[in-house]
Structure 1
Amino acid sequence: MTAAANSAHAEASGLIKRILEETPLKAAGFIVTIYGDVVEPRGGIAWIGNLIETCAGVGISETLVRTAVSRLVAAGQLSGEREGRRSYYRLSESAGSEFAAAAGVLFGAPEDDGWQFVHVTGEAVEDAMQMLKRSGHARINNRLAVGPAHVMATAVPGLVFRADSPHDPKALRDFASQYWDLSAHEEAYKVFLAQFDGLSTLNVPPATALTMRLLLVHRFRTVHLHDPRLPVSALPDNWPGGAARRLFAKLYRHLSTKADAYVAERFVTASGSLPAWTEGTDHRLDMLEGSEP
């Protein structure tokens, strides 16, 4: 390695260590990120040896990987296959659909389609309300919730009423601040920006590029999918979500050439190596081109 390469590698290692100290990983969650970022757009199946090797780069032991994979199998997200002495794990159909939908949110352009009110019917009101809350809705009363219209509420028994944004932006922001506690999401975006800002200047080796891209996706997924993703007109001034999305898009593109080359070099299935690029990976990069607000 040249002196410059050594310096970049040391800086990248320090950044990875700091991110892991500030926001520790859980094995199952990071394996979900590996499947979502690397495996799902390349056919949905991976050798457990590749999972073990990749997780080792962020300090997750082989024992923890095998335990987490077993739990994901028990939860119906993965299914195991054997070829000779090697074990491979494939995404279930339902998990594949879920991961593809999440990728649309992470890589696609921000949605801003107005609002919807959901009136819950039936007996299981609390279960329905919790499901709506997890999808970004706020509870107004026992059976009524409100949320951004881009969220699908078809899984909840009830009536959905679409609503346009009011013309008074201050009234809308006051309404949003009354029903959503946005401070935690704002802080999470700021932490993400502080952790990854400056990464685009680093010239790291392919293995490190993949590790850093996985951490980037994992952290942005954690922050962004928990955000109710309200229409921009309802958000406070200087909302950091837009800056976080721009940084995510920039860094993902910056890291992808080396990261994808490393995937093609190291990741295997029973039928051969995973490809560096597929229609699915290209589509994600295309979505990122148009996703920055």
Structure 2
Amino acid sequence: MHQLEADALTSPRAPSFIVTLYGDIVAPRGGVLWIGTLIECCAAHGLSEGLVRTAVSRLVSSGRLEGERIGRKSYYRLTDMAEEEFEAAARVLYAPPPQPTGWLVTLSEAETVSTDWLPIGPKAFIAPRRNDVLRPNAAVLSCDTVAGIGALRDFAAQAWPLAEVGAKYDAFLSVFEPILAHVWEAGAPPGPEALALRLQLVHAYRHAALVDPRLPEAALPEGWPGGRARALFVRGYLALTHAADQHIGLTFHDSRGRLATATAATELREDRLRRECLA
């Protein structure tokens, strides 16, 4: 890895990083990985074999991974529960819906609404008007902001963790803007370094994007960094993906042999990101 990258990046926590690795690499390639490959990949990020094995054990205990032993080798696959969780996260990272421009309001009971909905009364909830927000089986109204933008921003700042999410985006930008500027200038690094950098990119970005309530722009603080962070993530991911995927196809193994360099799922991800980049 280039010295600029090595100096800026720190070793991640093993369980969280393994979740990132499975989500970015393994889930779209069948969901199974040899633990030897996992240990080798994590070593490039400063994670020891002992840390990896402990983290895998915890992920098994939490119901995200399940193990299988074939001969002397151990393989770990995503559980059905984890696959659903990873698919939901992948939609946010690789194929998010357009930023909402308005709101949904429902007159419903608390137990009937998903976590996207915020209570604003005894039986009233509000959510950003996005097509991935689950509608309850109740009256749902669509509305727009027609006045009081300042008051709306004050309300949003108190109701959602926007300061915390914005700080995560700012931290992501401060680390990856100079690193990716070097990539734009020098070109993508060789496969092992490209994959290591892409994993760090996804890992850092997902910690902000998956807690972002993705509100209409009118509700966000001035200078909100989410759009800039998204653009950097998309451009960086695309710049690193060819070399990273080639390395995966050469060195990553599941119980049947090498993982595919590309699959229909990885190609769909890349196509959607390219379309977003050109939009």
Q: Which residue of 2 aligns with 1:3?
A: none
The structure 1 residue matched to 2:224, chosen from 239, 261, 270, is: 239
Moved beyond 4 Å, runs of 4+: none
With structure 2 as the length reference, what TM-score do the two structures score?
A: 0.87
Deviations 1:153-174 (A, max 9, x none): 46xx874623222233725434
The Cα shift of 1:119 comes to 4.9
After superposition, the CA RMSD in angstroms is: 2.4
Q: Give the distance between the partners of 1:235 and 1:141, measured in 2 at CA.
A: 22
Letter in 2 for 1:115: W
Provide the TM-score with structure 1 as the length reference. 0.83
Counterpart residue type for residue 133 of structure 2: M
Q: Which residue of 2 aligns with 1:228?
A: 213
Deviation at 1:65, TM superposition (A): 1.1
Q: Which residue of 1 aligns with 2:203?
A: 218
**Amino acid in the other structure paired with 1:173:** R
Which residue among 6, 15, 24 is the counterpart of 1:13?
A: 6
Aligned residue in 1 for 2:109: 121
Residues 160 and 227 of structure 1: is their aligned pair in 2 closer, same or farther, counting only changes over 3 Å? Answer: farther
- Looking at structure 1, the residues matched to 84 and 273 of structure 2 have their Cα atoms a distance apart, in angstroms, of 20
Measured after TM superposition, the shift of residue 250 of structure 1 is 0.6
Equivalence map 1:148-227=2 (5 Å): 148-150=128-130, 151-153=132-134, 159=138, 161-168=140-147, 170=149, 172-200=152-180, 201-202=182-183, 203-227=188-212
Q: 1:132-164: CA deviations, max 9, x gaps?
A: 2xx4x433345543222335346xx87462322
For residues 144 and 274 of structure 2, the distance between their equivalents in structure 1, rounded to whole angstroms, comes to: 27
Structure 2: 5+ residue stretches without partners: none
Corresponding residue to 2:82 among 88, 95, 119: 95
Q: Which amino acid aligns with 2:219?
A: A
Residue from 267, 271, 274 that aligns with 1:282 = 267
| One-letter amino acid matched to 2:92 | V
Counterpart secondary structure, 1:226: coil
How many residues are aligned here? 270
Do structure 1's residue 138 and structure 2's residue 111 form an aligned pair?
no
Q: Point out where structure 1 has 5 or more consecutive residues left out of the alignment.
A: 1-7
C-alpha deviation, 1:197, in angstroms = 0.3
Distance 1:48 1:148 in 2: 41
> Residues 208 and 228 (structure 1 numbering): CA distance in 2 closer, same or farther, change over 3 Å?
same
Could you report, residue by residue, the CA deviation over 1:258-278 in whole angstroms, capped at 9, with x for unpaired residues? 111111111011211011111
